[in-house]
């Protein structure tokens, strides 16, 4: 992270996309950063928090994205520069504020980084957040490489300040999380003092505000017309031009080179995609007869360009447009060079050269050597025990109870790792929200018990209003908070219960059980590793009516194992009787922790000591008591 602080303008360094964005913010003199973790943009606030003292930045992990955005907006209203970073789902959480702050306006530069996760590599949905810019009439920038990630971020603050509007900077996972060369700029001397003045109200004279917003957007278009982030490369009078933005830029260049089309195909690279700098685009499409539009996820640029082509039909004449609508490129999933090459080759009637004629065949063969691995919980993960407990209690209850899920590591509970317990997964907080509704269906003959699971971080983020709703409407729901002591899935960032802040300093805590008590619901706290007691508790709670909360509290073992030496477990193979046991390999097959393996030679269970974190839950479940602590007397 030293590179973030380097005061050597002109020096080229290797940077992760998120670090480049953070550096851009630093070069813009950013004062305030708020965010919610677990996104392709997580390293932006983490980077800024690390240098918070050095550059006098305030950095926080907020309870959720809308709170982060509102807090950052406050800094802007006080004349400071602020950045807020999130993924596509976070933008949805912000939407309500976004659709009013656009009308009320901002003061100091305010940048919203929307880092989309195409292909939903680590998300519950795939979404193109660029539509929000068009929807909310806000300026949109799309960096295409690491240098632009830094430079455009710095510029975004200026654009925002000029317009008095938040500026949206769209990244994607591949840009945020890969690394490339970045030439550093100057570090500014920060002089801003916070002072609030003026009135920022959305709701008075809304129609007039909306009209003024459209004028600001025209102003943005003017600024974008001269932006150096929009440019053309290729032959002077190309008839075929690729129009691209964001990650599509590098893929397009590679595709053109791969097909040897450098002399025939031009690339119009757009860095400012909303509002479109129409003059700039029209100027570069004169004499062009075919265009291919390359972008990631939705046909956002494609639709805007098509509208422009229709408006400019007299000037430009007929132009054939290839892209998502024509079926040449998908409007879903991550973009890559192969997809662009295939599209270009198909339009041009070329045969793309593959690396090796037998490449596909060879790779298929290689795949058969890879052992089949299902996504699973880490060894020692408390969620495995929690979901086994929930499964057991629901089975004992026998009324076809089910679990409404939520977003977190425990989403894996929908698969074999969590014994297929989660039956619904949507957005954060939706588990308890849905359970709320299920819990009120008794008058329609519904008698299945409903358990809503929710992580600790999710509890603070999005679950509390639904729990209050369950309380006041007396909904029959059991909420199980899987409290592993932090926002574990995303790198263990702190949450309101953690006791430390984004910069690692001690912070006050807000206890989950105290919130539950204040709401007036029955709450119990239990260690899910005490499996049999926990099963009894959940079973008992399932027999009760109204809203109830069980907090399964056990720290994420990845963190626990780092902090202190764990006990070493082993299978005493004189006690394990293998297939004679009658347990049918419960430990390695059903409980299915990756730390327990089947010893083919001995035909008995065995602990993989490299993987085992020593949680000891399997030892309590083995019917022979064959799993032992190393060094302990048997």
Partner 1 sequence: MEAGKSSSDLEQEVFSQDLCTSCGACVNICPYIKVVKDKVAVIEPCGLTEGKCYDFCPRTLTDIAALDRSVFGKTRTDYSLGPYISIEMAQAKDSEVRCRAQYGGVVSALIKYALDTGEISNAVLTRPFDVALMPSSVLAEESSQSLECAGSNYISSATLAKMNEATKQGKDSLGLVGIPCQVMALRKMQSSKHETRAKGVKLVIGLFCTWALSYKGFSEFLREKVDLSKVRRIDIPPPPANIMVVETAAGDARFSLDEVRKFIKPTCGVCYDMTSEFADISVGMVEGIEDWNTLIVRTPAGRKFIDKAKKAGVINAKPLEQTRLEHLKQASSIKKKRAVDAIQKRTNDKKNLLYLRLSAQEKKKYV
Residue ranges in contact with partner 1 by CB under 8 A: 391-393, 395-398, 419, 532, 535-536, 539-540, 543, 582-584, 586, 590-591, 621-623
- For partner 1, which is the closer residue by CB, 52 or 385? 385
E-only strand ranges, 472-595? 477-483, 522-526, 547-553, 569-571
Q: Minimum distance from CB of 431 to partner 1 (Å)? A: 22
Q: Which residue number, 13 or 627, has a Cβ lying nearer to partner 1?
A: 627
d(CA 598, CA 613) in angstroms, rounded, equals: 18
Q: Which is closer to partner 1, CB of 466 or CB of 581?
A: 581
Distance CA 319, CA 240 (A): 10
Compare residues 395 and 517 and give the one whose CB is closer to partner 1. 395
Q: How far is the CB of 275 from partner 1 (least distance, A)?
A: 58
> Is the Cβ of residue 68 or residue 626 nearer to partner 1 in the bound state?
626
Work out how close the CB of 300 gets to partner 1 at its nearest, in angstroms, rounded to a whole number.
47
Alpha helices in 473-605 (DSSP H): 512-519, 531-542, 557-563
Please choose, from the candidates 479, 476, 559, 567, the residue with its C-alpha nearest in 3D space to the C-alpha of residue 515: 479
What is the closest distance, in whole angstroms, from the C-beta atom of residue 539 to partner 1 in the complex?
4
**Is there a contact between 451 and 403 (Cβ–Cβ < 8 Å)?**
yes
Residue number with CB closer to partner 1 (311 or 544)? 544
Preceding amide of 474 cis, omega within 30: no
260/623 with CB nearer partner 1: 623
Burial of 405 (0-12, 13-18, 19+ CB in 10 A): buried
CB of 586 to partner 1, least distance (A): 4
- Report, in Å, the least distance between residue 224 CB and partner 1: 60
Which residues have a Cβ under 8 Å from the Cβ of 488 and sit 6 or more positions away?
Answer: 408, 409, 455, 556, 558, 559
Sign of the torsion angle spanned by Cα atoms 577, 578, 580, 582: positive
Work out whether strand 240-245 and strand 82-87 pair parallel, antiparallel, or are unpaired: unpaired
Judged by DSSP in three states, 424 sits in strand
Judged by CB, which is closer to partner 1: 146, or 419? 419
| Cβ burial, residue 407 (10 Å; 0-12/13-18/19+) | buried
Closest CB 160 distance from partner 1, rounded Å: 56
Which residues have a Cβ under 8 Å from the Cβ of 91 and sit 6 or more positions away? Answer: 65, 98, 112, 114, 129, 132
Would you say 540 or 609 has its CB closer to partner 1? 540
Shortest approach of partner 1 to residue 526 CB, angstroms? 14
Nearest distance in Å: CB 541, partner 1: 11
């Amino acid at each position: 992270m030293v590179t973030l602080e380097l005061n050597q303008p002109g020096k080229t360094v290797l940077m992760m996309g998120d670090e480049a964005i953070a550096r851009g913010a630093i070069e813009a003199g950013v004062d305030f950063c708020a965010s919610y973790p677990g996104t392709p943009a997580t390293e932006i606030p983490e980077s800024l928090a690390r240098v918070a003292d050095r550059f006098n930045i305030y950095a926080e992990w907020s309870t959720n994205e809308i709170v982060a955005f509102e807090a950052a907006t406050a800094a802007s209203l006080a004349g400071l520069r602020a950045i807020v970073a999130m993924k596509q789902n976070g933008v949805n959480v912000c939407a309500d504020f976004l659709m009013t702050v656009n009308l009320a306006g901002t003061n100091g530069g305010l940048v919203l980084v929307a880092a989309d996760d195409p292909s939903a590599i680590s998300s519950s949905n795939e979404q193109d957040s660029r539509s929000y810019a068009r929807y909310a009439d806000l300026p949109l920038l799309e960096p295409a490489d690491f240098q632009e990630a830094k430079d455009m971020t710095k510029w975004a603050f200026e654009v925002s300040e000029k317009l008095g509007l938040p500026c949206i900077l769209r990244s994607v996972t591949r840009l945020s999380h890969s690394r490339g060369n970045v030439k550093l700029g100057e570090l500014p001397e920060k002089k801003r003092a916070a002072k609030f003045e003026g009135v920022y109200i959305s709701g008075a004279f809304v129609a007039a505000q909306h009209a003024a917003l459209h004028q600001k957007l025209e102003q943005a278009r003017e600024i974008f017309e001269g932006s150096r982030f929009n440019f053309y490369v290729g032959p002077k009078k190309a008839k075929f031009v690729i129009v691209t933005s964001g990650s599509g830029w590098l893929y397009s260049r590679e595709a053109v080179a791969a097909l040897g089309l450098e002399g025939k195909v031009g690339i119009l690279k757009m860095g400012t995609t909303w509002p479109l700098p129409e003059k700039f685009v029209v100027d570069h499409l004169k004499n062009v007869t075919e265009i291919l539009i390359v972008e990631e996820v939705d046909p956002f640029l494609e639709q805007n360009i098509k509208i422009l082509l229709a408006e400019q039909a007299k000037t430009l004449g007929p132009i054939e447009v290839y892209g998502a609508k024509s079926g040449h490129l998908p409007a879903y999933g991550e973009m890559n060079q192969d997809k662009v090459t295939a599209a270009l080759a198909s339009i041009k009637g070329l045969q793309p050269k593959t690396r090796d004629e037998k490449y596909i065949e060879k790779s298929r063969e290689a795949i058969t050597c890879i052992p089949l691995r299902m996504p699973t919980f880490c060894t020692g993960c408390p969620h495995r025990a929690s979901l086994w407990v929930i499964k057991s209690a629901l089975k004992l209850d026998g009324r076809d109870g089910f679990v409404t899920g939520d977003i977190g590591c425990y989403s894996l509970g929908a698969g074999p790792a969590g014994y297929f317990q989660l039956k619904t997964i949507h957005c954060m907080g939706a588990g308890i929200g849905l359970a709320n509704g299920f819990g009120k269906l008794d008058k329609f003959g519904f008698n299945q018990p409903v358990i809503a699971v929710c992580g600790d971080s999710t509890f603070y983020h999005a679950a509390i209003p639904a729990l209050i709703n369950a309380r006041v409407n007396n909904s029959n729901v059991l909420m199980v908070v899987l409290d592993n002591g932090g926002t574990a899935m995303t790198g263990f960032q702190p949450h309101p219960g953690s006791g430390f802040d984004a910069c690692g300093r001690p912070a006050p805590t807000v206890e989950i059980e105290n919130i539950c008590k204040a709401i007036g619901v029955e709450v119990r706290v239990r260690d899910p590793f005490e499996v049999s007691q926990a099963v009894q508790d959940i079973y008992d709670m399932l027999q009760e009516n109204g809203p109830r909360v069980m907090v399964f509290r056990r720290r994420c073992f990845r963190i626990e194992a780092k902090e202190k030496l764990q006990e070493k477990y082993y299978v005493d193979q004189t006690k394990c009787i293998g297939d004679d046991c009658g347990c049918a390999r419960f430990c390695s097959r059903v409980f299915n922790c990756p730390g327990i393996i089947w010893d083919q030679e001995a035909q008995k269970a065995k602990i993989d000591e490299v993987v085992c974190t020593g949680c000891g839950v399997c030892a309590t479940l083995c019917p022979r008591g064959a799993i032992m602590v190393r060094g302990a007397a048997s």
